[in-house]
Amino acid sequence: MRSICVLAAGLLVGLASSATAGAAEEAPTFTKDVAPILFDNCVVCHRVGEVAPMALTSYQAVRPWARAIKDKVVSREMPPWHADPEASLDFRNDRRLSQADVDTIAAWVDGGAPEGNPTELPALPPIPTGWQIRDLGEPDAVIRMPVAEEIPASGELPMTNYYIPVPWDEPRYAQALESKPGNRVATHHTVAYIRPGLPPGTRLNEKGLAVRDPSIAVDRNASFEFAQRSVKLTGYAPGKGYKRYPKGAGRVLRPDWYFTLNQHYQPTGKPETDQSELGIWFHDDPIDTDVREIVASDGIAVVEGRELVAEPGQRRPVVPSIPPYADDWKIVAMKVFPEDTTIFSLSPHAHLRGKRFTYTLVRPDGTEQTLLTVPQYDFNWQTFYELTEPMVFPAGSKLVTVGYYDNSVKNRYNPAPDKEVYWAEQSWDEMFNPFFEYGVAAETVTKGSTND
């Protein structure tokens, strides 16, 4: 009896001491374990003058946020990344933390968020100034808003498009493109597009805005077609706002078209100005792949179960408006690939009612593969999901894209749930643009085929 007691007590002591030793060894500290994760993955946005609401650049700054940080990283709301990894391919620009990093942060917070030894603190990454693409040198061309825009101290500002004519007279190929805000604090986003002209019925003013000219008649279809032919090039997001293509592959930038910088500003409490830019690096080597971006549509859409077919000569059917209060309004588009096609990136684009999106590849043998699922679309993050490995769709494959829209009061971004929503350019209108980038043999381009 007695010996058992002794044994049990000894066992307890042994357990207790090994647990303490383990905790002392493993308890993560800020300076040694957590700062490297935050500095690598968070401060690009969470530093003074960047998009995020607070800086995470020192122990003193981070400590009050410890619990919120644990919640946001465990729930995978931070870093922001909107593709569901369980139902998507692997993407080069994925921002998610590794599970080991999430576990380290959680263990640090659970352990009381200690600072640790200050001498172990790593250096902060340098403040990003200039272009994020560094290894290619300065851009070969910089496209800039024609004049600096004045941003008022307060109020809600609509997204605005600035048009700049393409300043060269033969097609050129970009190997890299980067959007750069002139004023990082006040610029919520700058997204660069290239468009086949000015919007129908408009002329350009001195600020680069396309203003309605009543002397030019507008045809609804022409406006719709114009929107469909417009293609997104790249968009700014801290740390990741650029596009690059592999050797031999590039984006063609045609003369006679217009660059468009789509600007969304967030007032900062004091008047600000911004003049955002698009940097372009051309390819020096010969191009064999012309990368294009189009909307995945062959002219058929299934809207709330009803099949609609485009008029002859139109790329997409005229889609009925979204009714007031509809909370899960569904549209499906399809595109068949007549030849083997390499796919580079996927990018669903919608406005304020956009809710969720999926891209599914149906192979000629009928097997299906989900390429991208965005379960909670957020129009603030215009992400290009860039495939880690460009993927070949065999001839006869079909790309099926599905979008859901929420025009109800449940959608906190909805400016007017009681209104029907039309399909057009403004943020209060809607878009279903399941963009993707794909390559075609570059020689077909020189024969004059264009993106339309």
- Residues near ligand HEC, by CB under 6 A: 38, 41-42, 44-46, 51-53, 65, 68-69, 72-73, 78-80, 95, 97, 237-238
- Sequence-ordered list of residues with C-beta below 8 angstroms from that of 314, at least 6 positions apart, any chain: 221, 224, 225, 299
Longest dimension (CA), the chain: 105
Q: How far apart are CA 190 and CA 159, in angstroms?
A: 9
Of 190 and 341, the one with the shorter C-beta distance to ligand HEC is: 190
Cβ closest to ligand HEC, residue 238 vs residue 248: 238
Least gap, CB of 77 to ligand HEC (angstroms):
7
CB 384 within 8 A of CB 347: yes
Nearer to ligand HEC, 106 or 300 (CB): 106
Nearest Cα to 258, choosing from 344, 197, 316?
197
Per-residue CA distances from 2 to 6, 8, 10 (Å): 6, 10, 12
Total residue count of the chain as it appears in this document: 452
Which one, 73 or 145, has the nearer CB to ligand HEC? 73
Smallest separation, CB 32 to ligand HEC (Å): 17
- Rounded to the nearest whole angstrom, what is the least distance from the CB of residue 41 to ligand HEC in the complex? 4
Nearer to ligand HEC, 241 or 403 (CB): 241
Q: Which is nearer to ligand HEC, 171 or 267 (CB)?
A: 267
Amino acid letter at 167? P
Q: Give min distance, CB of 83 to ligand HEC, in A.
A: 14
- Sequence-ordered list of residues with C-beta below 8 angstroms from that of 103, at least 6 positions apart, any chain: none
Between 36 and 238, whose beta carbon lies closer to ligand HEC?
A: 238
CB of 216 to ligand HEC, least distance (A): 39
All residues at 6 or more sequence positions from 102 whose CB lies less than 8 Å from its CB, including other chains = 73, 74, 76
| C-alpha–C-alpha distance, residues 36 and 94, integer Å | 18
Angstrom distance (rounded) from CA 27 to CA 374: 35
> Toward ligand HEC, which CB reaches closer, 168 or 413?
413
Distance, CA of 437 to CA of 358 (rounded, Å):
16
In the complex, minimum distance from the CB of residue 238 to ligand HEC, in angstroms, rounded to a whole number: 5
Distance in Å, CB of 65 to ligand HEC, minimum: 5
CB of 154 to ligand HEC, least distance (A): 19
For residues 96 and 94, what is the distance between their CA atoms, to the nearest angstrom?
A: 6
Cβ nearer to ligand HEC, comparing 23 with 48? 48
Please give the structure tokens belonging to residue 337.
């690939």
* Shortest Cβ 128–ligand HEC spacing (Å): 12
Cβ atoms within 10 A of the Cβ of 296, count? 19
Spell 243-253 as b/e; 16+ CB within 10 A means b: bbbeeebbbbb
**For tokens 């001839």, what's the residue?**
395
Closest CA to 188 of 263, 83, 112: 263
> Whole-angstrom Cα distance, residue 254 to residue 173?
9
Q: Minimum distance between the CB of residue 100 and ligand HEC, rounded to whole angstroms?
A: 13
Nearer to ligand HEC, 72 or 254 (CB): 72
Are the beta carbons of 31 and 115 closer than 8 angstroms? yes
